[in-house]
Homo-oligomer: A and B are copies of this chain.
Amino acid sequence: MSISSFTFEPWAAIHQQRVEAALDDTLPVVDIQPERLHAAMRYAVLGGGKRVRALLSYASAELLGAPASSADAAAVSVELIHAFSLVHDDMPCMDDDNLRRGKPSCHKQYGDATALLVGDALQSLAFQCIADTNAPQALKQVQVLAQATGSRGMCGGQDIDLQSTGKLLSREALENMHQYKTGALIRAATLLGAYAADSTEEIHINLLNQYSQNMGLAFQVVDDILDATADTQTLGKTAGKDALQEKSTYVSLLGIDEAKALVTTLYEQTLQSLAGFDTQADSLRGIARFICERPF
């Protein structure tokens, strides 16, 4: 495996800027009606986040030799879905969190009713943005994204999470919950990038499925570790929330050391699914390393 001259950080910076510009273009401007809703949508989406899901879309497209421009809609749509989930998740009837990406969360800034509509409108915009491309595999992208978002994906995971709060989950139940809650969208982000190519072979989808399944899980374990160890300022969101809400996490279940060991194992498995590729998989490898080495 040659990781040779590739360095992840500049690649990530370029693509983070790329998706930020594409999001800015996609979101309605604030001087068209309804102005306040558009301002709130932009507030909820722009200028924050690591854009991991967008990076996965771009990196997958790169694996298959598709240009970044063909993956812009995929990258934008997964970030819109992610942003909508954060807005709704922060609302008083859900996690009731006042801080997001270092600033007041959307409902604190604009009120609950507008935050509800912001989330709803961001979800529609995600699908519209894919459909607007009229690309050969756009319908497949809609299908994958819709499934990952709905009751058998992210929304379902949040419901399982709600039902599980205060209960002691088995490791299997915890993994199942996270496959829905965060794993489904991580997988969709990866696959949408692959479907940004004009055509996609089944073998690539299978490998990217393996890659993203391990990545999604690693991502969640790292999140649990950070929630337990980092402070609110570093995270840009309220730290220590899991323990406070009596949520089962990989840390509460395995302890910090075993959780860290699990991340290492998942990282190695993630790399294994890319073993058949040369430099065209460098960006996917870089994302895996970035996720698994987030400082803790």
Is the C-beta of A150 less than 8 angstroms from some C-beta in chain B? yes
Is the C-beta of A147 less than 8 angstroms from some C-beta in chain B? yes
CB contact under 8 A between A37 and B124, given known A91-B116, A116-B94: no
> What is the oligomeric copy number?
2
The A155-178 residues at the B interface (CB cut-off 8 A) are 155-156, 158-160, 162-163, 176
Is the C-beta of A151 less than 8 angstroms from some C-beta in chain B? yes
Q: Which residues of B contact A163 (CB under 8 A)?
A: 34, 36
The A105-143 residues at the B interface (CB cut-off 8 A) are 111-114, 116-117, 119-121, 123-125, 127-128, 130-132, 134, 138-140, 142-143
A88 and B145 alpha carbons, distance in the complex (Å)? 22
Q: Which residues of B contact A114 (CB under 8 A)?
A: 159, 162
Q: Which of B93, B155, B180 contacts A124 (CB 8 A)?
A: B155
Interface string of A79-92 (1 = CB under 8 A from B): 00000100010010
Is the C-beta of A240 less than 8 angstroms from some C-beta in chain B? no
CB contact under 8 A between A155 and B117, given known A34-B160, A127-B142, A142-B142: yes
Chain A facing B: main interface SS: helix
A112 and B91 alpha carbons, distance in the complex (Å)? 10
Q: Is the CB of B139 within 8 A of A34?
A: no
Is the C-beta of A284 less than 8 angstroms from some C-beta in chain B? no
* Least distance between A119 CB and chain B CB atoms (Å): 7
Q: Which of B33, B124, B138, B151 contacts A28 (CB 8 A)?
A: B151
- The number of residues on chain A lying at the interface, defined by a beta carbon within 8 Å of a beta carbon of chain B, is 53
Q: Which residues of B contact A138 (CB under 8 A)?
A: 139
Q: Which residues of B contact A147 (CB under 8 A)?
A: 124, 128
A36 and B111 alpha carbons, distance in the complex (Å)? 28
Q: Is the CB of B149 within 8 A of A124?
A: yes
Q: Which of B121, B130, B162 contacts A150 (CB 8 A)?
A: B121
Q: Which residues of B contact A120 (CB under 8 A)?
A: 84, 88, 119-120, 123, 149-150, 155
11 A-B residue pairs with Cβ-Cβ distance under 8 Å, sorted by A, are A32-B152, A36-B163, A91-B93, A113-B162, A117-B151, A117-B159, A124-B151, A128-B150, A131-B142, A131-B146, A134-B139
Extra contacts, 7 of them, besides A124-B149, A132-B143 (Cβ < 8 A), are A34-B151, A34-B160, A37-B151, A88-B120, A113-B162, A125-B146, A139-B142
